[in-house]
Structure 1
Amino acid sequence: MVIPARRVQRRVTLTEIAEACGVAPSTVSRALSNPNRVSPGMYQKITSKAQELGYTSALLPARDDRLARGTIALVLPNLTNPFNLDVTRGAQAQIRAASYLHLMVSTEESLPMEEQWLREMARTVDGIVVSSPRVDDETLRSVAQIAPTVLINREAPGLSGVVIDTPGGLAQALQYLQSLGHTRIAYVRGPHGSWTDHVRFEAIAGAAAALDVELVTVGRYQPTLPNGAAAADAVVLTRATACIFFNDVLAIGALDRFRQLGVSVPGDLSVVGCDDIFGSSFSHPPLTTVTSPGESAGRAAVDMLIGRFSTRDRSDRIDHISAHLTVRASTGPLQG
């Protein structure tokens, strides 16, 4: 692997550039991460001084002695969910194609760890892609002031990102269940602080209200197979005839538990997941789910980030990727 020149040199700090230019470090940060927020003259002054001092960043024009353009970090909530592996494959392919180094970090579903990693990496990498972040909008914006940042499956004012329309797919799933005769449907919620869970729940609740379906919410669960089993026990107590899970990991964990409890799927209970991860098509029974193109999202997010390296336009935008319902054997008509 080719190592960027800046990796073997002392890294010039923003403070040093600020002192040389006679401006505040925050002004340097704005100029290098969001040039639209400083005057053209100030941008030219700061970038010229930064290059003179040896500051190396993918935001600055390439130098002949650079061995590679820089490093992009991919931050994921965990590495146990196959959906995140799909995102990684897509992102890694685009990063490698652009001759960048790839740094991957799992925050293990820990909000403090995520915040710590983001703040530290913002000063050591050239750009960051964050998938399903848990930290608040203010923290994300402060990180983006230091290093260009693109989000996956999160909308935050002032930041760019790629969002997969799984909420629309789940609304479609609820409509499908209602068409099968189900009028009492449970939704097993995802982790606290998950923007993705919030928008998925809002879409399902809106569809339920429009169709006069009774929606029962169940818990808050980290997406693991054991938590899916725990959620299955709670679902049985709701007496719902159909259930939608926050994602496939929870749903697949629940399928095994339903079998242990003697609950027939889909005879007694129809089950729907989300993301269409590897394994959902050969679970027992095969899982009806919302197909979510994680690999495409990873590619699109990296393309968006690299595009920001080569242009002074730092205006935010959200690109949407469609999702759709994939019907398999875990759902069926309401049994009399």
Structure 2
Amino acid sequence: MGVPMTERTRRPSAPTIYDIAEKAGVAASTVSRALNKPGRISTETEARIRAAADELGYRLNPMARSLQSGLTGNLALVMSDMTNPVYFDLVRGAERVTADAGCTLLFADSQENVDIELDAAQRLLRVADGLMLVGSRLSDEQILSLSALKPVVTVNRLVDGIPAATAEVEVGVHQAVRHLHELGHRDIVYLEGPSASWMNGRRHEVIAADAAALGMTVTFLDSDGPTIEGGHAAVPRVVATGATAVIAFNDLLAFGLLQGSREAGVDVPVSLSVVGFDDIFGANLLTPPLTTVRSHMRNLGEAAVLALRNAIAGEDERETERPATELIVRGTTGPVAPAGP
């Protein structure tokens, strides 16, 4: 006699928060807070609850959570240039914290284009609970307009009234300018990034102030873009200034400067010292290896997600830790060559 279909297809019921509560020895409401709003209970209790959930094979149901809370569990991130290696670690840090919270991270690339960035942000806000803008080229007014729809966090950008996660700029710049001064450089160039970049403007300000304090002269040159090609194209204009050192907005520009200098017969670092920003992958593999200001981008990605989740939860804005920057001295900086006879 065959087994009835209902018996053949019956599976064990999925574990619930009540099962987890019983196993962990806590109330069901405590389990709910631990799984849906991490950080609301003690670290030890949360860890015990998560261990019990893993042992029982419990999985959050995003559809059910959405119906209960009105939230999707989706967090959105728009980057100014997804192909820039500086963002690899940032995304990894953001993804780790997002996954730990049981949420999903959605991406878009603005391709350094304001119109594309605004369109991507508006589309993502239809399906996400909040938005992170990384290296945004939008105006303050546009960002404030987006924040009126849903919570927004800026990354490496400050806008009054908007939560932000920013790297500490000053220390790394101080170290870079002083390093060049100690090597005897008095005339330097800052090869600029995009004019709409808040971080470019901030670096410009700090370099100008530090150089003036040390009696150095700075020439500010626009680039064709924060790319290898932009750095390569700038070499003739850098050389024409007579400067003995150049600080580039990012490592990609510095890569291009090294490539163009080599082709033009300019010896780095004998005739020209070069400093980059970010310490992206490959910076230490060049010949000579690049002196650069390192940014701890993974920490920045983690801080951005935490700030966004706090904003979504309606919590008061907290002071986020600013990841430090530091100068990494390698082979592209050296002492000023002695003047000829």
Structure 1 stretches of 5 or more lacking a match? 1-57
Partner of 2:225: 222
Q: 2:78 aligns with which of 62, 70, 75?
A: 75
Shift of 1:309: 3.0
Partner of 1:50: none
TM-score, normalized by length of structure 1?
0.78
Partner of 2:117: 114
Runs of 4+, deviation exceeding 3 Å: 61-69, 314-319
Q: Deviations over 1:297-333 (max 9, x none)?
A: 00111011112333x3344755422111110011011
Q: Deviations over 1:210-237 (max 9, x none)?
A: 0110111111332111111001221111
**Does the Cα contact within 8 Å between 1:94 and 1:302 map onto a contact in 2?**
yes
Q: Deviations over 1:70-116 (max 9, x none)?
A: 10111100122101122111111111121111111000000111112
Q: Which deviates the most, 222-231 or 243-252?
A: 222-231
Partner of 1:136: 139
- Looking at structure 2, the residues matched to 180 and 190 of structure 1 have their Cα atoms a distance apart, in angstroms, of 25
- Looking at structure 1, the residues matched to 261 and 134 of structure 2 have their Cα atoms a distance apart, in angstroms, of 31
Q: Which amino acid aligns with 2:106?
A: L
Q: 1:252 aligns with which of 251, 255, 280?
A: 255
**Does the Cα contact within 8 Å between 1:70 and 1:101 map onto a contact in 2?**
yes
**Shift in CA distance, 138/269, structure 1 to aligned 2, threshold 3 Å:** same
Corresponding position: 1:86 with 2:93 = no
Q: Which amino acid aligns with 1:307?
A: N
- Looking at structure 2, the residues matched to 63 and 94 of structure 1 have their Cα atoms a distance apart, in angstroms, of 19
Shift of 1:62: 4.7
Q: Which amino acid aligns with 2:328?
A: T
Structure with bigger RCO (C-alpha 8 Å, 6+ apart): 1
**Shift in CA distance, 230/63, structure 1 to aligned 2, threshold 3 Å:** closer
Q: Deviations over 1:110-148 (max 9, x none)?
A: 011111222232232111111111111111112112111
Partner of 1:278: 281
Partner of 1:44: none
Partner of 2:245: 242
**Shift in CA distance, 66/150, structure 1 to aligned 2, threshold 3 Å:** closer
**Shift in CA distance, 299/78, structure 1 to aligned 2, threshold 3 Å:** same
Q: 1:309 aligns with which of 309, 312, 324?
A: 312
- Looking at structure 1, the residues matched to 168 and 127 of structure 2 have their Cα atoms a distance apart, in angstroms, of 32
- Looking at structure 2, the residues matched to 205 and 110 of structure 1 have their Cα atoms a distance apart, in angstroms, of 28
**Does the Cα contact within 8 Å between 1:129 and 1:301 map onto a contact in 2?**
yes
Q: 1:231 aligns with which of 229, 234, 243?
A: 234
Question: How many aligned residue pairs are there?
Answer: 276
Q: Which deviates the most, 274-283 or 229-238?
A: 229-238
Partner of 2:54: none
Corresponding position: 1:166 with 2:169 = yes
Shift of 1:63: 6.2
Q: Which amino acid aligns with 1:71?
A: N
**Does the Cα contact within 8 Å between 2:72 and 2:128 map onto a contact in 1?**
no
Corresponding position: 1:333 with 2:335 = yes
**Does the Cα contact within 8 Å between 2:223 and 2:230 map onto a contact in 1?**
no
Q: 2:322 aligns with which of 303, 320, 323?
A: 320
Secondary structure in 2 matching 1:146: coil
Shift of 1:199: 0.2
Q: Deviations over 1:231-288 (max 9, x none)?
A: 1221111111011000000001110111111111111111100000001011121000
Matches within 5 A, 1:44-55: none
**Does the Cα contact within 8 Å between 1:169 and 1:324 map onto a contact in 2?**
yes
Structure 2 stretches of 5 or more lacking a match? 1-61
**Shift in CA distance, 209/285, structure 1 to aligned 2, threshold 3 Å:** same
Partner of 1:100: 103
Q: Which amino acid aligns with 1:129?
A: M
**Does the Cα contact within 8 Å between 2:65 and 2:71 map onto a contact in 1?**
no
- Looking at structure 2, the residues matched to 150 and 114 of structure 1 have their Cα atoms a distance apart, in angstroms, of 15
**Does the Cα contact within 8 Å between 1:161 and 1:301 map onto a contact in 2?**
yes
CA RMSD of aligned residues (A): 2.1
